[in-house]
Every structure is written in C-alpha cells, then in structure tokens.
Structure 1
Amino acid sequence: MANGVRTKPVLVYDGDCGICTKCVGFVERHLTKDVDIVAFQHADLSSLGLTAAQCEQAVQWVEPDGRTSAAHMAVGDLLKASGWQWRPLAFLALVRPFRWIAAVVYTWIAKNRHRLPGGTPACSMPAHLRPGASSESAPRKDPTER
C-alpha cells in the first residue's frame, strides 16, 4: 500500500481451512507475485470493504479500486492476473456459459473440504459455528453471483 492507497489486488482466504492454506501455498509458488494474500482472520476487513461473513463463506478478491469478487469468480480474477498461461482457466471461471462449471466445482470443494487431503475438522463445521466465528457470520445467499 503506497500512501494509504492499495496498489495491488488482495486475495482474502480462510486461514483456519487446511485446503485454503494449501491452495494459497500453490498460489504463492506458481501464480502471480503481484498480489497481496491475507487470511481474513488477520486482515483489516473494513479497509477492504469486506465482512467476516463474506470471508467465511468464500475466498474474496479485492481490486485496488475496491471492486470485489467471491468464490469461483475470485479464483478466476486471480488466474487472470497471473499471466497468459493461466488465462484459459480464468476464461472458464469467468465467462458464461463456462463459469457455471467453475461454480459447481468451487461449491463442491467448499462443501467437501473437510474430506479432502489437508482438510481440518473446523472445515466440516458451518462457518458461523466454528470456534471464533464472528456474530455477523450467519448463512447468506450464494456468493458465486456477481
């Protein structure tokens, strides 16, 4: 952040989720370095224009201008920002009619993350029931819609 103005996009993820943490490790090793990555539990969410409920529901992408996206759309925006070799996958995540496939895959992973390698017991609990969940984190509408 230069002079209080964000110059890079920010990827906000669930730091309590083993799957999310593994995915962030992949992002840090293989995708763009021109992005700030932060667990929502350690982020200044109000400065990002996000709530804990949004972040508990899905991964978030925040552009320097404040535009946000969530779930598969956030992953698509990350891939789009990561260079030409990732653009075909970004296209599938962001462009109709293909993005419905990305939405289904993201939703399946999110619902089954506690069963996947690296999943944690906290992942199997609804976000609003996890230890340390905020009072504003109640179930909300599907985050995959823009």
Structure 2
Amino acid sequence: MTESRSGDTPTPYLIFDGDCGFCSRTIELLGKWVTHPAVVASWQSLDLDRFGVTPERANHEILWVDTDGTVSGGSVAFGRYFAAVGGRFRPLALLLLHQPTRWVAARLYELVARNRHRMPGGTASCSLPR
C-alpha cells in the first residue's frame, strides 16, 4: 500500500494480476460500471520496469500509476482510481483515501488479497506466495 515514483506517463494505468481469476473478474465488473481513460492491463502484459515496479509487487497488489509517475498499491490504488473517475465515485475515493476509514480499507484489502483464491472466481493460481 505504499507509493513510489517512476517516470511520467501520458495516461494513467490500472495494473492487475491477469493470472488471478478473482482479480480479472473484478476488473471486468469494474469496467461495466466505470468509464475512465486509464489503461487497464494485467502486469503480465506490461514492461513493469517502465513503471519502476517489480513482478513481486504487481503480483501482490493492484497498482495505480498516475500521470506524474506515482505508483500506488492496494486500497490506495483503488482510491486514486475512483478519485480520477470522479462523479458518483468521489465519495468512495474519499473513504478509501482519508482517515479514519483509510486504515479500515487497507486492512479489508489485505484480507481479500490474502484470500482471493477463496473468493468468487478465484482459483489456486490466485493464491499469493507466502
């Protein structure tokens, strides 16, 4: 859930684990509800070095790469994504990004991430490395 900085990108990116059925299904559902010009791509299909991100990190959490190169992970990545979308999703962004609910969102994200292989659409390939 930390932030780091890579080079500037002209378009923001939402990066997910394409090998995880739960993650892929979540992104698919998100695409039905949200319209945003971000590039949505699996980390397996990208040159992660471009963003200064390791495969280990990309496998561990969803990532948001903003146009200024800031890389956010986990619940903060979702919060920054929803903030960029704006409109009716702005309240959700505020809940994910600001106290006192930010720490709750982070813990909930971690709980789901650790158990994504047990979630609907999840398979054994969704399990995070120990």
Distance across 2 between alignment mates of 1:38 and 1:97: 31
Match of 2:56 in 1: 53
Match of 2:42 in 1: 39
Runs of 4+ in 1 over 4 A off after TM superposition: none
Confirm or deny that 1:20 pairs with 2:23.
yes
Q: Give yes or no for contact 2:114–2:128 (8 Å, CA) kept in 1.
A: no
Structure with the greater alpha carbon radius of gyration: 1
* Greater fraction strand: 2
Of structures 1 and 2, the one with the larger relative CO (CA 8 A, separation 6+) is 2
Match of 1:79 in 2: 82
Q: Give yes or no for contact 1:13–1:20 (8 Å, CA) kept in 2.
A: yes
**SS of residue matched to 2:115:** helix
Q: Give yes or no for contact 1:32–1:81 (8 Å, CA) kept in 2.
A: no
Partner letter of residue 35 of structure 2?
T
The structure-2 alpha-carbon separation of the partners of 1:56 and 1:37, relative to structure 1 and needing over 3 Å to count, comes to: same
1:106 shift after superposition: 0.4
Percent identity of the aligned residues? 38
Q: CA RMSD in A?
A: 1.4
Match of 2:104 in 1: 101
TM-score normalized by the length of structure 2: 0.88
**SS of residue matched to 1:109:** helix
Give the number of aligned pairs: 123
| Gaps in structure 1 of 5+ consecutive residues | 127-138, 140-146
